[in-house]
Amino acid sequence: MSRKTQESVAVAMVRRGGLRRAIKACGFVVAWGIVANEFGRTPKLYEYTAYWKQSQSSTTREVRAFSACVPEGVTVEDVWRSVSLRAATKQEQVAELMGAPWVLS
């Protein structure tokens, strides 16, 4: 009997999109979560860009890296919600993202 093992979000992202994209994607998820927590709601992409005072091009690169690392239809909010439901503090949320099992496939 084959048993599917769960892997961390970060490992799943590396497997799907490669190390370089996964690093950018994980950073995007954490940065997105910080903005979402600050606003108390899901931010719009332009709000995220303005909050971090970065160019639209930088945000676009982050979104593309994220999209390459997750299945179609999975949003950054989905990933962040999954991580934040299992952890209380920001440090725990980052640790959860990097090491907690979660099925992305």
- Quick one: pLDDT at residue 50? 97
Torsion of CA 44, 72, 100, 39, to 10 degrees: 10
Say if 55 falls within a structural domain.
Answer: yes
- Look up the domain containing 34 and give its range: 7-96
- Quick one: pLDDT at residue 77? 92
- Quick one: pLDDT at residue 83? 76
Residue 44 to residue 49: CA distance in whole angstroms = 9
Least Cα distance to 18 among 66, 77, 76, 74 occurs for: 66
Below-50 pLDDT ranges, the chain: 1-3, 102-105
> How far are the Cα atoms of 5, 6, 30, 51, 105 from residue 77, in angstroms, in the given order?
24, 20, 10, 17, 17
- Count other C-beta atoms under 10 Å from residue 22's C-beta: 23
Say if 43 falls within a structural domain.
Answer: yes
Say if 63 falls within a structural domain.
Answer: yes
Say if 105 falls within a structural domain.
Answer: no
pLDDT digits 0-9 by tens, 23-38: 999 999 989 988 998 9
Say if 75 falls within a structural domain.
Answer: yes
Q: Total domain count for the chain? A: 1
Say if 79 falls within a structural domain.
Answer: yes
Say if 54 falls within a structural domain.
Answer: yes
Say if 1 falls within a structural domain.
Answer: no
